[in-house]
Amino acid sequence: MSRNTRTSRLMRGVAASIAAALLASPLLLVASAEARTPHGSLAQVILETHDVTGQPWNANLHGWWGHEGGKGDKGARPTFLSLDLSDGHGLVDDATTAAVHKALADGGDFSSMRVAFVPYSADGHLERPHVTKGETAGQAFAWFADLGVGSSMNGNTNANDFVSWVSNLAEYTKWWNAGRPVQGFTKNLNVLDISPSGLTHPSATPEGTSILNRWPAGTKISLVFYVSDGFDKAMPQMPTVKVGPDGRALTSWLTFETVASPTNPARTSGGYKVLTGAGTGPGVAARPRVAPTPAPSSGPSSGSTPSAAGGATGTSGKGSNGTSNSSFVSSLPGGKPTFFVLVLVLVAGGVALVTMRMRTAAGQGPGTPQRGDEN
């Protein structure tokens, strides 16, 4: 067998070994680890339960509106409505946030983003409908709520806890025309009118319904952030919907399946299971990280260039850019699994190289002509 043939077979074996290692590893999940928005959505909507961070790592994929963090729907933490503001590798800063503003065309201000709900549509036509100038949220979407980016839904321990109103146009219009009466809920989530004296009676014109029983269990619903450009003249608390360049609303959305409460049969939609959360959640999204801060310059007269490490010395676990080695690993798409596979590939390549050299040396024994002796 010639030396070239042996080398060719060895290299094919190395390639096969590396391919097998890749196929057996989580590296194939790297593509899914990148946050993916629903088709047509301008950004990735996420739900958080501790604060609004904009980190997909902190996204919650299964929870209870306004009752996060406990057993069943007995938790006390709020549900925060948020957006993925990261660069896809765990960094959230002014630049990444500005990029989301640009994608949303919200004028650089998240306060223009309001909330609506629609039945899930596979092609997104309900989530991003055609609209006309001055069209209201009630006209454009099936339901709407007085919520926005960064809003928190806060539950409580009261028997009549309702968390948040969700209205449709007909309900809201009747309530408005009735003089916008103050309203509350019974323990069964029926709506009551509350008189100035404190007396209550069942409402004939409810403003809407609690998010906890707005839909039957098992319904696919999309929570939509839309860009608003003002308010309705007739009902000046209802936002109008900004028209995008293509004649559609400027929207981003998250689709969830409603989950019934295990403790209160009235709460048919007391919980949610996110259906469009690919690439979000702990262990799937990139771990949050902070961009390294460059060292301040000592001034033009010093003639020196600031060190990339900020001049820090003697700090263990730090790379040359001042960040920890663990930050480097978590910044890789797929995090630790990707790092381990890269190490595996490098080791396999090193073993193959040593094996090839050993085989070459074995083939060039005392009786084997050496280069330069062949003539």
In this structure, are residues 184 and 198 in contact, taking their beta carbons and an 8 Å threshold? no
Q: Which amino acid is at 136?
A: T
In this structure, are residues 77 and 68 in contact, taking their beta carbons and an 8 Å threshold? yes
Answering whether pTM is above 0.75, one says no
Q: How many CA atoms does the CB half-sphere of 371 hold within 13 Å?
A: 3
Residue-wise burial string across 29-52, b where 16 or more C-beta atoms lie within 10 A, e elsewhere: ebeebbbebbeebbbbbbbbbeeb
Gyration radius from the chain CA atoms? 29
pLDDT, one tens digit for every residue, the chain (375 residues): 555 555 455 455 544 444 444 444 443 333 333 446 788 999 999 999 999 999 999 999 999 999 999 989 999 999 999 999 999 999 999 999 999 999 999 999 999 999 999 999 999 999 999 999 999 999 999 999 999 999 999 999 999 999 999 999 999 999 999 999 999 999 999 999 999 999 999 999 999 999 999 999 999 999 999 999 999 999 999 999 999 999 999 999 999 999 999 999 999 999 999 999 889 999 899 999 987 766 554 443 333 323 222 333 233 333 333 333 444 444 445 555 555 555 555 655 565 555 556 555 555 544 444 433 433
Residue in the block written with tokens 């689709």? 255
Centre a 10 Å sphere on the Cβ of residue 203 and count the other Cβ atoms it contains.
19
In this structure, are residues 155 and 244 in contact, taking their beta carbons and an 8 Å threshold? no
List strands edge to edge, sheet with 183-185.
183-185, 191-194, 200-202
Q: Which residues pair with 90 in a beta bridge?
A: none
Backbone angles phi, psi at 98, to 5 degrees: -60, -35
Burial status of residue 365 (CB atoms within 10 A of its CB: 0-12, 13-18, 19 or more): exposed
Q: Which runs of consecutive H residues, i.e. helices, occur in the chain? A: 3-23, 30-33, 94-104, 137-140, 169-177, 325-331, 336-363
